[in-house]
Every structure is written in C-alpha cells, then in structure tokens.
Chains A and B, each alone.
Chain A
Amino acid sequence: MVSGRPQRVTQKFIVYLLLIGISISFLVPFVWLVLSALKSSDEIFVFPPVWLPKHFEWGNFVKAMTEVSFGRFGVNTIIIAVLNMVGNVASCAFVAYGFARFRFPGRKILFGILLATLMIPPEVLLIPQFILFHKLNWINTFLPLTVPAFFGNAFFVFLLRQFFMTIPIELEEAARIDGAGPLRIFLQIVVPLIKPALTAVAIFSFEGAWNSFLGPLIYLNDQSKYTLQLGLNLFQGTFHTQWNLIMAASVVVMLPIIIIFFFAQRYFVQGITLTGSKG
C-alpha cells in the first residue's frame, strides 16, 4: 500500500503533463487563427513572426464581411440548416418509432438495409442524385439540399431507435387501453420522453447542414444562393494573399458552431457515444 503511493503520484504527474501538452498543441491552431485575423496585412508576413499584433485590427472582420456578401451567405445557410433540422427531427422520430415498436413483415430486413446505407460512400450517390435533381429542375435551388432531410436519415433513425428501445412499453400499453391511437400515443407520450435525443438530432443536423460543402458546391450556381462554406472557399480563391482577411472570415464561419458546441456539448457527446459503444 505505502510503496504504491509515490508511483501513483508520478503516474498522475505524467498524465497531467501529457494532457496539458496535448491541449496546448490542440489550441495553437486556434490561437494562430485568431491572432492572424487581427493582424495588419504587413504584420502577417513579418519575420521573425510576432505573436501579438501591435494594433488589433478589428476592422479586418468588417472588411472580410463586406468584400464578399457574407450576410447573404449567412441567411442562406441558416435557411438550409433550419429546414434540415426540422425535416430530420420530424421524419427520423416517426421512422425510428416505427422500427422500434411495431411488428411487420420484413422489419428486420428493412432495418438491415437502413444500416447498410450508412456504408455507401456518398460519392456513389452523388452523380445519379445530381441527374435526378437536374431532371426535376431543382438545380440552383435549395430543394436538393433540404427536401431529402424530410425523408429520414439512416444515422439519426438508428440513434433514435436506440433511445426508443429504452422506454418501458407499459406506458404506451396503458394509453392504448384508455383508447388512444398510435399517433396520439407517439406525439403525447413518447416524443416528450425522448426530448434529449431529439435535441441531439436537431443539433447534429443543424451542424451537418452548416458544415456541408459538397452538396452546395454541386447544386448552387448563383453567388446570391451560396452558403457560408462556399463563400469561404470563394474568398480563399479570390483573396489568397490577404491571409488576415481569410482568417477573419474563417472565424466568422466557425463561431456559431463553437458557440453551439459549448452550450450543447452534452448532446453532442450523447449522440455520438450511443452509436459507438453498443454494437
């Protein structure tokens, strides 16, 4: 017992040392980003590098936002992200409940197919889906980026089904004896019970739509319809020597996700761990 103590203290010390060391290396890119965003155009290329800018150029943010119509891109991104959030929450809750609670022929096979679709590389569907939306005349509209969200997402359906399975069935049986139909049981009893899981789905789909690049890249042509991610890439192509402005624009594009992340960490972690830990 006594001989084990110093060893445990050194072990703790090493753990702290590693944690702090790694944290610093994880943080350095962020610090570099923010400081670069605040430097003047001359200062950013100075050698040897200066860490803290002499003057904090807050004007960089204004310049970055006005040189390219970032306001418009922001509104577009919010519209797409909110529609994805609403669509996914509504459709995935329905589908997951269907798989969790009702017996019907082919249920296991269909659920297997749903899981298998998770393994299809997105590139395989890219071209035929583009052709489909092209035929529907949906190119250069938000429809290809929002409508599919209303038809369920395999990952979220799987996640919500796991949650539904943990709810005791007796609650629903009691309601059924009282004469409630399936839709009413679902909306009034089950949905309120899985609010945390629905919140996780809402946050994940908002984040996914906010961060998405490939979809907007192939479906949106007019700059007036661009999202923030396309705007940022456009910015990088156009102003690639003005690194301070590009970094300021990056901060703006990341900031909403960072803020959501700090307030809703719990849901991020919950959502993600449910998919991994229990095979």
Chain B
Amino acid sequence: MNKKTRTSSPMKRKEALTGYLFISPWLIGFIVFVFGPLAASLYLSFTKYNLLRPPKFIGFGNYHHMIFSVDFWKSLEVTFYYAIVSVPLDLLVALVLAILLNQNVRLMRLFRTLFYLPAVLPPVAIAVLWNWILNPDYGFLNRALGFIGLPKPQWLVTPQWTVPAFIVMSIWSVGTAMVIMLAGLQDVPQTLYEAVVIDGASTWQKFRYVTLPMISPVLFFNLVMGIIGAFSYFTQAYVMGSSYGQGAGVNNAGLFYALNVYIQGFSNLHMGYASALAWVLFFIVFVLTMLVFRSSALWVYYGSEK
C-alpha cells in the first residue's frame, strides 16, 4: 500500500475517482445483490430456516440430510442424464446448422431467421406448445410417427420418456449457439482454406485441420454456456412437469436439480436446506467448468487471435 505508485499524482487520482464513479452502479449492485446474498446463502446452508423464525445453526445437518435424500439423488440423475445427452447433441446440431448457413446460397437471411427465431421466444410459451406437440394421443409428433409406422412413445407420461421429451425440445432452441458458431465460421480467414487446397486437402481435411481448430474458442464458449444452462434448467421443467404428476412429472421423472431447489425452498419453505442444495449445484457447475477450462489447453486454439 505504501508503494510509490503513479496513482499518487493528482491527475491519476482524479481519473481513478471518475472511473470508480462510473462503475459504482455495478459495484453497489454486486455487493447488495450478488456478494451479500452469496455470503448469506452460504451461512444459511448451515441452518434450519423457514422465513418465519430466525435461522437455527445446525452445522452440516442439511448436507448430511441431502446424502440420504431420495429427491436429491433423483434430481442429480435427471439433470446429469439431460446434460450428458443434450449438451453435446445441441452443440452438434448447432454446428451442422451453422455450417449449412455459412454456404453461399440464396435466401440465406430467411433461413438464418427461421433457425434462430425459436431461441428468442418465451420459454413458458415454448413449454406449453411442446406439451401439446408431445401429447401422446393428440400431439403432432406421435401422429407423425404413427403415420410413418414408428412406435409412439408416451412422452412425459411415462418416466422413461420424460427426459427424452425435454431433449427433443431442446434441439428446437439451439439458435443462440448456432449464431455464435456462424460468427466464428465467418471469422476463419479464407486464405487458410486456399493454402490447404493447394496442398491437396479434401473437404473433410479442410474441416478437420482448418475449420475445427479455428472455431474451437467458439465451441469452448458454447460448451461452457451449455453446461451452465443445463444445470440451471428450470422454466420448461416447471411448466411441463406440473402438467404431468405433482410438480415434477410421474415418479419425479422430470425433477431437474433447479426444480428441486425451488420446491424445497418455496413450496416446503426449507430455505436452509434449499441453500445447501444450491451450493452443491454451484460446486458441481464450478468443477465441471474448471475441467472444461483445464482441458481447453489441449483442444482450444487461440493462435491468430489478437
């Protein structure tokens, strides 16, 4: 602190003060709405608290309870199942769509608009619409499957077809990832393609040795956002789950982790326990994100980035 830094000159000091003034809305907001609540929720996770009486400290009681709770393990299973299938699948679909949209063809703007639109629509409306499309008896999907002679799964009505229904629905909303990938594809310098074509590269080799490394930062970004999104999946789970079974589908087959946090906190008023659940979620997302960050050294290429 006593170091002779340049901030000691009046000009610099004035600049620093102005800077702090400009960022002060965020700084105040961060302390009041993020940092304070985070600290409070860590404390609450060690208490028994129902909003009505003051929190009672119970040490690791909530965490201990969690280990023996069927709902906790069920919600982990549901969320991991959804994440493991939907995150890679959505990335792949988004990449294929982005490559198609990066071709030089007519009506490109129209196609881009069409593929991106579902991603900006209200999640509640999407969930309500897909509830209808996935209706096992009257829904469009099963009528179409029946028409071509395929079996008609009991989407959302039977436990084993609950998570798959959410996965099917997620593909429809890959627009955001797709647009980011498209931007990444358009940033790949054409000269690189020209260079490898002279060396006799095939289409696959162009993709494997030029496109893929060049868009790896974008894939990385989408992977991280996809993981965070999958573990915070709530609105669709709430809206669709409540229409089949009590809150989370038949036999809790749609009990996503975030939905469990909501039910424990706001339906059962177990605020302390819900805080502990939320911290475990935070920990899981943190570990997964760190693993992806660590692994990124192996597969993400930042070579020509400025």
Contacts and interface: CB of A to CB of B under 8 A. Distances in A.
Given A125-B37, A132-B36, A218-B266, A22 B97 contact: yes
Interface stretch (A53-61, A91-99, A166-174): A91-99
Task: Give the interface size bracket for A toward B.
Answer: 35 or more
Contacts of B224: 119
Contacts of B97: 22
A95 B25 contact: yes
A90 to B, nearest CB: 8
A269 B116 contact: yes
A150 interface: yes
Contacts of B27: 110
Contacts of A49: 138, 140, 143
A265 B113 contact: yes
Given A15-B103, A26-B115, A250-B125, A152 B26 contact: yes
A279 B217 contact: yes
B115 A152 contact: no
B114 A211 contact: no
B113 A98 contact: no
Given A26-B114, A214-B235, A91 B16 contact: no
Contacts of A246: 128, 132
B187 interface: yes
B278 interface: yes
A272 B5 CA distance: 39
Given A126-B265, A236-B131, A254-B122, 9 more contacts: A23-B115, A29-B118, A29-B140, A48-B143, A95-B25, A131-B51, A253-B124, A276-B180, A276-B222
13 contacts: A18-B100, A22-B100, A91-B25, A104-B17, A117-B30, A123-B278, A128-B37, A129-B33, A151-B26, A152-B29, A186-B22, A217-B238, A233-B239
Interface of A: 12, 15-16, 18-19, 22-23, 26-29, 32-33, 36, 44-45, 48-49, 91, 94-95, 97-99, 101-105, 107, 110, 113-114, 117, 119-132, 134, 148, 150-152, 154, 157, 182, 186, 207, 210-211, 213-214, 217-218, 228-229, 232-233, 236-237, 240, 243, 246-247, 250, 253-254, 257-258, 261-262, 265, 268-269, 272-273, 275-279
